[in-house]
A and B are shown apart, each in its own frame.
Chain A
């Protein structure tokens, strides 16, 4: 199937039907390997066993940001290229991104309490991630408030692109301001500062969670296409009944 065919929602659904079993299998396999590695990973010399929370917290933070970047690209697809699947992709990604951002906040708090002595502090990193979560809720609310999908897509696309300003703020907040949160230790110009015995399980868990995200996102996109088909049929039925 040529890649351009995927722009057609019906063909995209066929593609998703074929791809999902493979993606699900790959996700389960990656989690099996990842959980095994986490189990065997050593404790941190300073943080002890609480470092195990990192294997959830970092992938969740990565996906919370990744989903918004994906939504921003989709927003350009809606506003500039008017791609038929762009707003479907954005709408399907929002609840998944919100869930992973919530997971990042919850696991971060539970990690912070024993390490920092507090569940929460209003520093730049934590606050900017909370803002990201609230923006996700705003986007989801907008999708639900505006009935016409085309109009909702354009309004949400503008809000998404405005909200994208927050992404570099999250990433560089630990460098720009004094924060309780530690500075970047994986994605750094001079390379990771984490020992391989902890870094390798972390990378495997990031891959596993990313595969989970892709699986859920494709399934949610297929649902959204079905929802629009259903909406069209209901409108036509109402139109026929009124004629």
Chain B
């Protein structure tokens, strides 16, 4: 493929787009991994939510 005299601009634009998308994917994946790890640690320590102990006073947002 011949990108002509402005090839450097085109290649840089695609490289920047790939870097930004890769950064977004990494952010979501690593965040999920960290949260799952911290939740598993807490649950291993015996922590449960009030809802799981039979009470319903937990804020809706946290369920």
Contact = CB atoms under 8 A, between A and B. Distances in A.
Contacts, number: 116
A229 B20 contact: no
Interface string B31-63: 110011011001001011110000000111111
Interface residues on A, range: 35 or more
Given A9-B63, A110-B13, A229 B39 contact: yes
B38 A103 contact: no
Contact of B6 (A48, A96, A219): A48
Interface residues on B, range: 35 or more
B48 A233 contact: yes
B3 A52 contact: yes
A-side interface mostly: helix
Contacts of B2: 49
A52 B10 CA distance: 7
Most buried by B among A49, A87, A149: A49
Contacts of A113: 9
Contacts of A9: 60-63
Given A10-B63, A230-B42, A232-B62, 7 more contacts: A48-B5, A99-B24, A107-B17, A110-B12, A114-B6, A220-B28, A234-B47
Closest 8 pairs (CB-CB, A-B): A232-B62, A114-B6, A110-B13, A226-B35, A49-B4, A49-B3, A107-B13, A56-B17
